[in-house]
Amino acid sequence: MLTAAQVTDVKADFVADPFMIKEGKIWHMFFEVMNSLNGKGEIGVAISSDGLKWTYQSIVLREPFHLSYPLIFKWEGEYYLIPESGAANRLALYKAKKFPYVWEYAEILLEGEFADHAIFRQNDVWWLFVGGNPRLNDTLRLFHADHLLGPWREHIKSPVVSKNAGIARPAGGVLAMENKIIRYAQDCSMAYGKKVNAFLINQLSRMDYSESAFAGNPILQPGSSWNMHGMHHIDAHEITPGQWLACVDGYKRKLMVEAEY
Residue 28, pLDDT score: 98
Q: What is the pLDDT along the chain (261 residues), one digit of tens a residue?
A: 899 999 999 999 999 999 999 999 999 999 999 999 999 999 999 999 999 999 999 999 999 999 999 999 999 999 999 999 999 999 999 999 999 999 999 999 999 999 999 999 999 999 999 999 999 999 999 999 999 999 999 999 999 999 999 999 999 999 998 789 999 999 999 988 999 999 999 999 999 999 999 988 999 999 888 899 999 999 999 999 989 999 999 988 654 444 433
User: Residue 209, class by beta-carbon neighbours within 10 Å (0-12 exposed, 13-18 middle, 19+ buried)?
Assistant: middle
Per CATH, the architecture of 1-113 is what?
Answer: 5 Propeller (2.115)
- Domain coordinates in residue numbering, the chain: 1-113
Residue 254, pLDDT score: 56
Residue 225, pLDDT score: 83
Residue 260, pLDDT score: 39
How does DSSP assign the chain, residue by residue? Answer: -B-GGG--SS-EEEEEEEEEEEETTEEEEEEEEEETTTTEEEEEEEEESSSSS-EEEEEEE--SS--EEEEEEEETTEEEEEEE-GGGTEEEEEEEEETTTEEEEEEEEEES----EEEEEETTEEEEEEEESTTTT-EEEEEEESSTT---EE-TT--SB-S-TTT-SB-S--EE-SS-EEEEEEE-SSSTT-EEEEEEEEEESSS-EEEEEPTT--SB---SGGGSSEEEEEEEEEEETTEEEEEEEEEETTEEEEEE-
